[in-house]
Structure 1
Amino acid sequence: MTTTTTPRTGRRWGRFALHYLEMIIAMFAGMFALGMLQSAVGLGVSHAEQPELWYLSMALNMSIGMAAWMRVRGHGWAPTLEMCAIMFAPAVPLFPLLWTGVMDADGLMLVSHVVMFPLMLVAMLRRLDEYAGCAH
């Protein structure tokens, strides 16, 4: 009789989904906590006056929160930095649309956040075993 040690498919996808949710929570926790800290010490950036700097600051805050959680979960630096890059990736190509007036600051925030979540999912699917809890 042969036995296998791989988790059932449902459990594997459940771990994957839980990890995705944990990373989103860590991302938002970093964004809110570090954003409040920046404002408290006078380093806050105006969304309306400096949307590019505001977004980059917010992406950095999200990256710090998510990277901290990923390291706690035992991820290496390569997937951690890959996920951090995804926080910046959606907005940078949108900056020219902002500069030319095609998009406003609210549009930048909306589109970049909408694109960020599927990009995170693609990166996680690329490393499925790691994010499903099978590689730790």
Structure 2
Amino acid sequence: MTTTTSGTGRRWGKFALHYVEMVISMFAGMILLGLLQSAVGLGVSHAAQPELWYLSMAFNMSVGMAAWMRFRGHAWAPTLEMCAVMFAPVVPLFPLLWLGVIDGDALMVVSHVAMFPLMLAAMLRRLDEYAGCAH
């Protein structure tokens, strides 16, 4: 017989493992697809076009994460929510970039820093799914 504490600890362990898996798949998509884009001449300059560069990177991260989530059995709704999180941090930052309040480097740093807690919030919203209880 398991205790509630043990079951809860295992549930949060699965949740944390899933978060780490999603971060790894996100970075894998960003790196692999970024290398592919560069190899075929579709790379975008961070300095010259920070908006397009970020959107391309967010797309690459989304592809990696979506592939892993679908492999893990997630439905399209949570998969697309998580993909939206890759793009969401930049929405309030683009106007600041255009107004000259921030530069391309700040855009990258702030959007990446914001992305991780937003991923966590999306996962907490569907706790049972990400803790391994829903599939």
- Fold in common (TM above 0.5): yes
With normalisation by structure 1, the TM-score equals: 0.95
Q: Which amino acid aligns with 1:133?
A: G
| Percent sequence identity over aligned pairs | 82
CA spacing shift, 1:41–1:3, aligned 2, 3 Å: closer
Between Structure 1 and Structure 2, the one with more helix by share is 2
CA distance in 1, matches of 2:103, 2:47: 9
CA distance in 1, matches of 2:115, 2:107: 12
CA distance in 2, matches of 1:33, 1:10: 34
Q: Which amino acid aligns with 2:114?
A: V
CA RMSD of aligned residues (A): 1.6
TM-fit CA distance, 1:92: 1.8
Output one character per residue of 1:14-59: Cα deviation in whole Å (capped at 9) or x when no partner.
Answer: 0000000000000000000000000000000000000000000000
Output one character per residue of 1:50-96: Cα deviation in whole Å (capped at 9) or x when no partner.
Answer: 00000000000000000000000000000000000000000121001
Gaps (5+ residues) in structure 2?
A: none
Gaps (5+ residues) in structure 1?
A: none
With normalisation by structure 2, the TM-score equals: 0.96
Q: 2:52 aligns to what?
A: 53
**4+ runs of 1 displaced by more than 4 Å?**
none
